């Protein structure tokens, strides 16, 4: 947010002087050598950190299967608590979980952030045998009792097998308020959000033109939200133009 001529923090202008954290290393014209993670926060014991008014882009977590290198391309968080204000997470991709952000037993606090055009790269990972339907949480994925507070954020054009915008499983916890979900897509279920075995609340949000797009099996569940075996509360929230393929 600074151009180097300021004399106080109050002169910071993030829009005029953006800070971009990019995984685009090596050959700048190629995505093949982009970083597995742009930001990694994995403290050995509980700790917190703050990201304020930065953009995170061009992470590509396509490393070996069942490793940390194929989850959390934009931001990988393990056990820590990460506060994010006025950030943009854009154009990241992972194979298994969390194209934009991934948390394993950690917490995200997001305020006034935009999560846009993040995806699961290998949505139909099984190839001709269709034994692996790819990964979950194009925008954000939480596993292993992770949690998140999301307020006044936008989720736009994210894509995954389950949970185009957000995926949560394994006793995760979500509180989402005053946020917009638009044109997120999922192959199997939860165009915007997919939660399983979670505690999940949504208040004063809008879900517009999210969809499931399963063209192979001919069905997909939850154009906007697909919640199973979860304590779910939704109030003061609008749904417009969301669709399923089945």
Residue 101 pLDDT greater than 50, yes or no: yes
In degrees and rounded to multiples of 5, residue 182 shows phi and psi of -140, 135
Q: Which has more confidence, 115 or 13?
A: 115
Residue 94 pLDDT greater than 60, yes or no: yes
Q: What is the mean pLDDT of the chain?
A: 90
Instruction: Give per-residue pLDDT as tens, 120-163.
Output: 987 554 433 333 456 899 999 999 888 999 999 999 999 999 99
pLDDT grade, residue 216 (50/70/90)?
A: low
Q: Give the model's pLDDT for residue 92.
A: 96
Instruction: Give per-residue pLDDT as tens, 30-39.
Output: 878 899 999 9
For residues 39-55, average pLDDT: 93
Residue 115 pLDDT greater than 50, yes or no: yes
């Amino acid at each position: 947010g600074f151009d180097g001529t300021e004399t106080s923090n109050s002169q910071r202008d993030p829009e005029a002087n953006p800070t971009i954290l990019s995984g685009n290393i090596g050959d700048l014209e190629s995505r093949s050598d982009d970083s597995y993670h742009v930001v990694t926060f994995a403290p050995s014991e509980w700790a917190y950190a703050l990201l304020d008014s930065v953009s995170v882009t061009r992470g590509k977590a396509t490393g070996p299967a069942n490793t940390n290198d194929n989850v959390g391309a934009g931001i990988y968080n393990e056990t820590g608590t990460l506060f994010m204000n006025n950030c943009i997470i854009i154009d990241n991709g992972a194979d298994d979980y969390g194209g934009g952000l991934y948390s394993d037993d950690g917490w995200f606090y997001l305020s006034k952030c935009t999560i846009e055009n993040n995806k699961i790269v290998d949505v139909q990972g099984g190839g001709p045998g269709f034994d692996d339907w790819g990964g979950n949480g194009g925008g954000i994925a939480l596993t292993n009792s992770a949690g998140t507070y999301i307020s006044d954020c936008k989720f736009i054009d994210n894509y995954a097998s389950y949970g185009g915008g957000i995926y949560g499983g394994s006793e995760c916890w979500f509180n989402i308020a005053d946020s917009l979900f638009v044109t997120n897509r999922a192959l199997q279920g939860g165009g915007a959000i997919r939660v399983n075995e979670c505690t999940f609340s949504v208040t004063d949000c809008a879900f517009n033109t999210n969809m499931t797009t399963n063209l192979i099996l001919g069905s997909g569940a939850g154009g906007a939200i697909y919640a199973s075996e979860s304590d779910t509360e939704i109030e003061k929230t609008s749904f417009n133009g969301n669709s399923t393929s089945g």
